[in-house]
Amino acid sequence: MSTTEPSPEQRKAAVAGVFDRAAATYDQVRVEFFGPAGELLVRRTAPTPGERVLDVGCGRGASALPAARLVGPAGAVTATDLAPAMVEAVRRQAADLPWLTAELGDAEQPPPGPFDVVQGGLVMFFLPDFAGALDRYRAVLVPGGRLGFTWFGPPDPRWEPVFEALGSVLPADQRPPRRPGTDGAFASPQSMADVLGERGWHDVDTSDTEIVVRVRDADHWFAWSWSQGYRTMLERIEAHGALEEARARVEPLLERLADDGGLEWRALIRCTLARS
Ligand SMILES: C[S@@+](CC[C@H](N)C(=O)[O-])C[C@H]1O[C@@H](n2cnc3c(N)ncnc32)[C@H](O)[C@@H]1O
């Protein structure tokens, strides 16, 4: 069993590596999830024409691209991510939005502003120093500027046996956390409000929206899992030579789910908005 905890930089590099390898299929496997979640975030941060937006952990642009359409040519969107393939994917899609700049960058180290909006879709829980990042966002926002970000609420209990079964093929000390960031600020809307309030943010408000993710069958579910953060688990299982075993354990559970209400995963997305 390993006794050395990875450093914050190692944790960030590991997350970025997973998403870099996922980027080619990320949000490309005919599952409606990141698009609606990105739209949800942008509805809350509500960029207006001419505003300057920083989108951290931009992925393939689920929130950066809609923000760029809203600010228009008089505005500017800077989209950053630590995964080069994600940055490239945003650049390709932004050919007709020259006021959107996509660049490699750490969400914990925002570029100098000023920005009217800082937003981050489903990324803040990956940051080893979320509190420090909050301070740095405040420093690059105009007074009264908006910070908006999405994160996960409690998991869909119907799917817990599936995740348990997958993890069970790995020795306990090699299982990645089931979900990132479920403690500290991310424990509840109240704990998030407390942390933001302590760091000097105002008008903190978190709203919950359910997004129903639908997959067709086991192949589709595995393709979806490889295409996003759950890839961390699958890569570890692959390195352990246990992918077939994992599939054998999961397939009967997926069949049972399909018979019992369908292969639908109800994702509770929390969206927090605050002012600097
Ligand atoms: C779940 S994806 C979300 C992507 C996008 N915001 C969306 O909503 O589709 C998380 C993204 O955050 C990026 N990421 C994780 N930690 C990061 C960090 N410290 N700095 C910048 N990007 C980071 C990953 O590379 C990945 O693209």
Q: Tens digits of per-residue pLDDT, 22-61? A: 999 999 999 899 999 999 999 999 999 999 999 999 999 9
Kindly state the percentage of the chain with pLDDT values over 90. Answer: 89
- CB-CB contact of 52 with 76 (8 Å): yes
Determine if ligand 1 sits within 6 Å of the CB of residue 82.
yes
Choosing from 65, 124, 126, 231 the residue with most ligand 1 atoms within 8 A of its CB, the one to mutate for a pocket test is 126
Determine if ligand 1 sits within 6 Å of the CB of residue 215.
no
- Out of 3.40.50.150, 3.40.50.1820, 3.30.160.270, 3.20.20.80, the CATH code matching 8-153+182-215+268-275 is 3.40.50.150
pTM over the 0.75 mark: yes
Ligand 1 atom closest to Cα of 105? 21
| Cα-based distances in Å from 203 to 51, 115, 245 | 20, 18, 49
Exposed / middle / buried, residue 25 (Cβ in 10 Å: 0-12, 13-18, 19+):
middle
Ligand 1 atom closest to Cα of 106? 20
Determine if ligand 1 sits within 6 Å of the CB of residue 127.
yes
The pLDDT of residue 17 is 96
What is the residue extent of each domain of the chain? 8-153+182-215+268-275
